Every structure is written in C-alpha cells, then in structure tokens.
Amino acid sequence: MRFLFVGDSMTIGRAGDWTWRYRMWRHLESTLPGGYEIVGPRTALYEAAVDAAASEAYADPAFPAPARRHLAGWGEGWLHMAPVIGGTVTETGADVLLISLGLIDLGFYTNSEQTEENVRAFVAAARAANPHVRAVLLPVIPNVRAGYDAPFAAECDRFNVLLAKAVADLDTAASPLLLATVPESYDLDEDTYDGTHPGPTGEHKLAAAFAGAMHQAWGLGGPYRYGSSGPGTG
C-alpha cells in the first residue's frame, strides 16, 4: 500500500522539524511493517534562508530517505495541488492520500466556495489517475489568525462545512474518502511553535487524526500510540 502526504507548510515542515509525516512513518512502521511504502516527488523541508524547499535537516537524521517523500509545499494549497495530483498519482502509484490543505488557500488565494471547487477538482484528478484511490482529508485546523481576523475565521468555518459536505458527496465504495477529526485538545500555545505550525505535540496529534480515521473506518493500521511514534510528547 502506497501512502502520499499532500499538504502545505504544516506538512512539509521547516528545517529542524520532526514533521507529522515522521510521526506517521513511525506509526506505519509499528502497525504495517513491510506492508506499505511512502511515495512522492519531493523529500525536502522548507529552508527560510533561501525561501525554498531546500533542506534535508530533519530533527531525526535517521529518518530514512524513502520515508521522507511527499507532495507538500510552503505556501501551496488546494489551488496548487489540484493541477498536479493526477500526474503524481500516476507516477507514484499512490493508493492512499493523506491530505492537510486549506489554510493557505483561504488566507491568500481563494474563498471557501472556490476552495471547495478545487477540492472537487483534486479528487476528480486523483481518481482519473487511480479509480480506487483512497483519501483522508483534514479540515482546516485551529490557527492564530482566526483568533484576531473574524472574516478569515468565518471563511475557515464555512470551508470546513463545505469540505464535510464534499467528502459525503464524493465518497464511494470504489474510492472511499474520510474526513479526519481535529483533536479537541489541539492547543495553539502547546501544540504549535507560532500559532499555526505544529510543534512536537501538535505533530503527534495531526498524525493521530489520520491514523485514527484509517483504523476506525478501514481497519487499516492500528490505534495511534504516541510512545511508538517518535520522540516528543503528545
């Protein structure tokens, strides 16, 4: 089974991060040993000094190169990923997409309705490449901007409603879609390093959201165990 991580800055991570992708890799290692592969066209972290995905300085240098693969970008959203997901699924043979997108779209590019249209275009393109592809989609999670920008907060809430409806509309037996649940305990002070990007505990909680959805709905993997998912508390 081939897993593809799709996301924005919270998924690609910056130089020195563990990333929630790392936490998920540790989870897959403990629950699907030998039964999975992580795929994707990219491996790098974001490097602020050059404003590009140019670093391999993961917090754990033992993070294997093949497990670092992803389709994520700093400042990229549904708008950017919808045109490239079909080719990526074709090239990588991805079976399961773990997707965390939306915050960047709503913050800089599109409103909630336009973003939802890009979600539907993304799903259509992924299915054209693999009619049996599965996907787990994470809603826009709590972030600092929503605390002081009321119109932006309203757009986040509106998009999450539209995303849930899109998942319900588009879910099929041949190509199932899941909506992950943001943990109620997710706390901006404790789980992020700047009010938006996850720190170690936040990384665990995001990985747990995806792992829990797959295990509960598909019987895939197992319950997320923080102790087996890498350093850091959660």
- CATH number, position 120: 3.40.50.1110
pLDDT score, position 229: 75
Q: Are 102 and 77 in contact (CB under 8 A)?
A: yes
Q: Tell me the C-alpha distance between 145 and 183, whole Å.
A: 19
Three-state DSSP state, 75? coil
Q: How many domains does the chain have?
A: 1
Q: Tell me if 1 is assigned to some domain.
A: no
Tens of pLDDT, residues 113-139: 999 999 999 999 999 999 999 999 999
Residue 91 belongs to what domain range? 21-37+78-228
Q: Tell me if 95 is assigned to some domain.
A: yes
Q: Tell me if 124 is assigned to some domain.
A: yes
Q: Tell me if 216 is assigned to some domain.
A: yes
Bridge partners (DSSP) of residue 45 are: 55
Q: Tell me if 44 is assigned to some domain.
A: no
Q: Tell me if 108 is assigned to some domain.
A: yes
Quote the crossing angle between the two packed helices 20-31 and 200-218, to the nearest 10°. 40
Bridge partners (DSSP) of residue 70 are: 42
Grade residue 234 by pLDDT with cuts at 50, 70 and 90: very low
Q: Tell me if 233 is assigned to some domain.
A: no
Q: In the numeric block, which tokens belong to residue 185?
A: 């305990």
Q: Using CB atoms within 10 A of its CB, is residue 73 exposed (0-12), middle (13-18) or buried (19+)?
A: buried
Q: pTM for this one?
A: 0.97
The closest alpha carbon to 42, from 81, 96, 5, belongs to: 5
Q: Tell me if 120 is assigned to some domain.
A: yes
